[in-house]
Amino acid sequence: MIISSLKEDQKIENRIAITPEMAKKYIELGFEVLISENYANHLGIKDQEYLELGVKNYKNDSEVITNADIILQVGFLSEDQNLLLKENQILIGSLDPYNNKKKISDLTKRKINVFSLELLPRITRAQSMDILSSQANLAGYKAVIESFAYFEKAIPMMMTAAGTVPAAKVMVVGAGVAGLQAIATAKRMGAIVFATDVRIASKEQVESLGGKFLIVEGSENLETEGGYAKETSEDFKKKQEELLKETLKKIDIVICTALIPGKKAPIIITDEMIDGMQQGSVIFDLAAVQGGNTSSTQVDTIVKKNGIKIIGDSNILNKLAVSASNLYSKNLFNFVSNLFDKENKKININTEDEIIQKTLIK
């Protein structure tokens, strides 16, 4: 069995799908590993590190594709690369199935097995493969670090002979994996942290990290069976707006993380709320690529509005590409291991396995 990966389009993506550590593990399982030339040079990982492990590399991407049984990627292949895929090959990655329906449909019609790991079920056995959680953890951490860098005041409270510097107040919108990591990071840095989420179950998690949970009066638990947030009612939105409008007047930094799978990100912070914030405040919007949680967010742009900076990164993980690649490649290895029949040394696409059934796109 041959497993391969091609260098990503670095205008979009700096992460890699196979690190040297994971290449070694694939080889130990019995796979042959192929990568494209200069695969991870941009991360300071030379081809020689792979070659010394027994990995092969090719200058021509078409050779990497046509010789592979399994292709591991971070994002989708290019249109030209997709045309090279053959019947019964397996493509695994973070393929954004909600926005790439036609591309994926074209591949499945050609009998190519497409697995998108965003679709993993929220079950204990799948946790080691959960790319959304591993990457969101890093995104939440980095969003706090980036926003603090743009904030022109100190974060922790400081008592000096010249007077006291008050602690910065941080609001985290959305207490999923990214939001909880943002809360933990901001608290470690000495900030006073508030958080809000439509899922009442998040309250205990927020408070366990030292954050203050803001709850909309009379709210119900808006959580799907899979643990994701549901869309809110108009009545809830109005109550949430009033609560946020008053709270944001005292907040210095806002980290937005609220997403609904497969849909445009909900607008939670309106222009009116932003107008009421203190000058010098910073909003970091992790939902930018899905439209943003503020009405002023622009992708890969720092919008300055009435003295407030609104930051929307398209891929914040590119700023942590080494750490993100290490976790992502481990997630992929665990997924491939679940597909691999070790006794017969072959891939077994067992659709009775919930993990395989949910991630395989037909």
State the catalytic residues.
122, 127, 130, 133, 228
Show the 3-state SS of 18-52: CCHHHHHHHHHHCCEEEEECCCCHHHCCCHHHHHC
Length of the chain (residues): 362
Name the one residue in this structure whose structure tokens are 């499945």: 108
Residue 41 DSSP code = G
State how far the alpha carbon of 228 is from the alpha carbons of 122, 132, 200, in Å. 10, 12, 12
Say which residues have a Cβ less than 8 Å from residue 289's Cβ, sequence separation at least 6: 299, 314, 315
Report the C-alpha gap between 12 and 210 in whole angstroms: 36
Closest CA to 286 of 201, 181, 149: 181
β-sheet bridge partners, residue 285:
256
State how far the alpha carbon of 17 is from the alpha carbons of 13, 40, 135, 172, 213, in Å. 11, 10, 13, 30, 37
3-state SS assignment for residue 360: strand
Cβ atoms within 10 A of the Cβ of 184, count? Answer: 20
Report the C-alpha gap between 327 and 320 in whole angstroms: 11
Say which residues have a Cβ less than 8 Å from residue 314's Cβ, sequence separation at least 6: 12, 288, 289, 299, 300
Cβ atoms within 10 A of the Cβ of 197, count? Answer: 27
Q: What is the identity of the amino acid at 31?
A: F
Report the C-alpha gap between 24 and 19 in whole angstroms: 9
